[in-house]
Every structure is written in structure tokens, then in C-alpha cells.
Amino acid sequence: MPLIDVQAERCSPDIVLPSYEDVSAPTDAVGVRPLLPVVGANLRVPLVTGQETTYANLDYAASAPCLEEVAAHLTEVLPYYASVHRGAGYASQVSTSLYENARAQVAAFVGARADDVVVFTRNTTDALNLLAHCVPTDGAGERAGDVLFLDIEHHANLLPWQRGRHRYVVAGTTQRATLVALRAELAARPAALLAITGASNVTGEVLPLTEIVALAHEAGARVVLDAAQLAPHRRIDLAATGVDYVAFSGHKVYAPLGSGVLVGRRDWLDEAPAYLPGGGAVREVTLTGTTWASAPQRHEGGTPNVLGAAALARACLVLADLPEGALEEHEEALRNRLASRLDALAGVRLHQIWRDSPSAIGVVAFTVEGYEPGFVAAYLSAEHGIGVRDGKFCAHPLLSRLGAQAGTLRASVGVGTTLSDVDRLADAVERLLSVGPRWEYARVEGRWSPVGDPRTAPAWAGASLGSAGGASPCESGTIR
């Protein structure tokens, strides 16, 4: 059945919102309480009905909220903030120590080898573009070998490789068939690098990383892991798995401020031209030539994001300090509850890539029959105070193969999520299917919004709700 535009009569009825606090469950039961405290856990948001409710954040996969411990750390170090390196002042010395210590903490978080390099970037996209810049080239400036990737990748792990020699493998309907296809492609023609996602940003499914690394190395290819979604949910160990490079973002691991990182083998990073030529990336400059610094400084030109690096490192420390298996157990309880409840609703379809996926992080992709994903997301926000993501998630080829040309909805959980949050989502979808929306909605600049939305943003936000721009070109464009 095609997805249709839906409108309901605009109204503002008296309605009592249910309480989702499960007082009957033991307080130490998995998923009943947050695993870690996050900033904004008790945020109150307005509804179109004129009421307020506690925000249910089920959009962790886009940007995770800041951990309270990370926020406290930033408050502690902010008075010492100064430009790093070459400064004799006390604050500069402290900031330099903070920045370089953050490098060591991130290295420990991903199980880096002794000679691996940690380069701070803006985000995962920036880190992968940096590595694309470092893949060895031939005498003509072309890549000396292909970069190979799957058709399920986020655009950040697809577009950087398209600028040079590359090819892709269509993932099979099972993970086993996908591994067979990867091995055959690597055997047929050598590749310099295999770029692989750790966990799908659309469905959350996790790939068998150790097996993939082994077959790539057998064929003489290095492996880069896009861990934007994996790092917040699973332990990563470069030394144990043999992964050559890993990239992830601070805003996915509960650290704000626009930080990211690339960690991996030194040789490619030392031999490549500076990624961002400028101050800090050099040893000596004359008017006729430059002697570049070694990595990581070689690729960190300009004044670095000291607080972003500090936040990222502290978030890594907090996550690493969780008991073994606690994060997986917490998220599995939440994901299983949400998936089972949604799957029980006639008209809801859950999406997955492989029939034999053994595990997944806390992400569930679904569609609701008769409703566009953007409409459902607007309804959940306006009438229930629930935040989810809708669209194509910067993974157009994957959405195409899933048969979801209009996109899907994505609910994602994390350390601050509880069972009551996922129950709120399931109940709200069930209500939509049984009685429909209680408000009128229309498209505004490509996005669904409540008609005459009475909600307002805080004055400091600088704009009313929905007035700061419409749909992203990435979400509104046609999949080809």
C-alpha cells in the first residue's frame, strides 16, 4: 500500500497522558532505570494539546545527549581553556596536557597498538575523508589500489572513496552470503583498503568484524572501521581484531562540541600530504618549501578543538568504566521490548538487512502503513513528546534495497533510555493506528508540521519551531 498524506481535524482536547513509571518492577531490573545519567534526562517539552510532558529521547543514533560526568568535566576544565602547544602560560600548558592526554585516553578506549596514531577531527565524516586523502597513490597521483565497500554504507563511508579508484560489493540477504561475496571480490582483484561499517546506522545490525578483517588481510587489503554507531554500544579493540583504522564521532558517544577521531597505523598518515595545511602541521616553513610534521600534528593544522577532545576522551573513560556486558544487556532489553511491541502491531513493518543477523545495537527501523515516516515523526513529537528520526539517514543505496524509497522511522536508545521510553513510543504508534492523529498536519518546506503549531521555542533559540529551515536535500532528493 503506498504511503499517503494524512491530515486530522485540528483540536486541543483535554487528555490525560499515561504514566510510564513501572513501579511494580524491581528497581535494579535491566532497563527500568537509566544506565548512566545524561544531561536533559528530565527535560519538559510542550505538546500541541497545551500540556507538557517529559521528553522521550529515542534519537540517540543521530546525536547522543551529553553525559552528566562529561558536562561536569567541561565545567572543571573550562577556566583553564587556552590555545594548545607552544604556549608558555600556565593555562596553555594545562590545556596542552589536557589535549595530549585525551589522545592517550581515546587510544586506550579503542585498544590501539603501541605505534598507532590518534588524529582528532571534527567528526566521523571528517576522519574518513582524512583517511581517503592518505590512501597511497601511484606516480600519477591516482590511488595505487582500489577502496572496496559494501552498498549498505552511510554516505560518510561511501562518498570519500568515490573520488578515486573504488568498487563496491552488494551485500547478500544473509551475513554469510555477504562474507562470501567480499572474499570473492577481494580474490578477483586486489584492493588497498576495505571500508566497512561496524553497525548499520539504519537497522543497527552488527557485522562479524574479526572474520571480515581476516579475509581482507588474507587478500592484502587494510580495513577501516566506520564506528560512528558501533563505538557508543560495543567495545572496540584494534589490537585484538586487527582493524587497521577506526573512525568515530564525539557526539555519538555522549560528548558534544564537534569532535571526532581517526586512530590507526602510522605509515599512511606520515606519508600523505597534510590534510589541513597550516599552523601546527609543520616543522619548518620557507618561502620555497615546507617540512611537514609527523602525524598526528601533520593533519591537525590550525588551533585544535581542545574542549571537544577533552569531552570525547572523558566520555570514552566513562563508557569504558562500565561493567563488562552491562551496556549490551541494557540496550538488548530495550531493543527487544521495542521490536517485539512494534512487530505485534498490524500495519507496522520492521526493517533489517540480513536474515541471519546475530546481534544489533539499540536501533530499530520501521514504517507505519498508510503514513509517511515524516508525518509519524511529527505526530510523535507534537502529541506525545517523543523524539525519533525519519528519512533516508544518509544511506540512500541501503534504503533503496530495503524498498523504503520514502525513508523509514528510526528509534534509537542509549545509556539514558528506559523501558518506559520505548513503551511510550509503542503505545503512541498503536494509538495512531487505532484512532489516528488528534491534530492537523501539513508540509512546511518539505517537512511535516502541526498546523498552527502553538508550541514555542525558548527565546534564546532565536527562531520559532519549524522556521529555521525545511528538509535536508539529502532527505528530500530522489534515490537513484
- Identify whether residues 329 and 316 lie together within a single domain: no
Quick one: average pLDDT of 103-120?
A: 98
Co-location of 288 and 330 in the same domain: no
Same domain for 187 and 262: yes
Task: Give me the helix-helix angle, 209-218 and 175-188, nearest 10°.
Answer: 20
The region of weakest confidence among 8-17, 93-102, 343-352 is: 8-17
Q: Among 301, 320, 339, where does a domain finish?
A: 320
Q: Flag whether pLDDT at 16 surpasses 60.
A: no
C-alpha cell at 360: 544489533
Q: Which of 52-56, 221-225, 471-475 has the lowest mean pLDDT?
A: 471-475
- Whether residue 304 is found in the same domain as residue 260: yes
Q: What is the mean pLDDT of residues 329-353?
A: 98
Per-residue pLDDT tens over the stretch 204-260: 999 999 999 999 999 999 999 999 999 999 999 999 999 999 999 999 999 999 999
Band of residue 269 on the pLDDT scale cut at 50, 70, 90 = very high
Confidence of residue 27 (pLDDT cuts 50, 70, 90): low
Q: What is the mean pLDDT of residues 36-58?
A: 97
Evaluate if residue 73 carries a pLDDT over 50. yes
Residue 10 inside a domain? The answer is no
Q: Higher pLDDT residue, 465 or 367?
A: 367
Q: Examine the domain organization and report whether 405 and 464 are in the same domain.
A: yes
Residues annotated as part of the active site = 394
pLDDT value at residue 465 = 78
The boundaries of the domain holding residue 410 are 44-60+325-476
Task: State the pLDDT confidence band at 86, using cuts at 50, 70 and 90.
Answer: confident
Q: What is the pLDDT of residue 140?
A: 79
Instruction: Indicate if 274 and 156 belong to the same structural domain.
Output: yes
Examine residue 11 and state whether it is found in any structural domain, yes or no.
no
What does the alpha-carbon distance between residue 191 and residue 187 come to, in Å, rounded to a whole number?
Answer: 9
CATH (domain of 186) = 3.40.640.10
SS (H, E, C) the chain: CCCCCCCCCCCCCCCCCCCCCCCCCCCCCCCCCCCCCECCCCCEEECCCCCEEECEECECCCCCCCEHHHHHHHHHHHHHCCCCCCCCCHHHHHHHHHHHHHHHHHHHHCCCCCCCEEEEECCHHHHHHHHHHHCCECCCCCECCEEEEECCCCHHHCHHHHHCCEEEECCCCCHHHHHHHHHHHHHHCCEEEEEEECECCCCCEECCHHHHHHHHHHCCCEEEEECCCCCCCCCCCHHHHCCCEEEEEHHHCCCCCCCEEEEECHHHHHHCCCCCCCCCCEEEECCCCEEECCCCHHHCCCCCCHHHHHHHHHHHHHHHCCCCCHHHHHHHHHHHHHHHHHHCCCCEEEECCCCCCCCECCEEEEEECCCCHHHHHHHHHHHHCEECEEECCCCHHHHHHCCCCCCEEEEECCCCCCHHHHHHHHHHHHHHHHHCCCCCEEEECCEEEECCCCCCCCHHHCCCCCCCCCCCHHHHCCCC
Q: Is residue 22 part of a domain?
A: no
Instruction: Calculate what percentage of the chain has a pLDDT beyond 70.
Output: 91
End of a domain among 320, 342, 360? 320
Q: In this predicted structure, what is the pLDDT of residue 373?
A: 98
pLDDT tier, 471 (very low <50, low <70, confident <90, very high otherwise) = low
Using the 3D structure, point to which of 320, 340, 362 is the last residue of a domain.
320
145 with 169, same domain? yes
Residues 408, 373 share a domain: yes
If pLDDT is split at 50, 70 and 90, which confidence band does 6 have?
very low
Average pLDDT over every residue of 292-300: 95
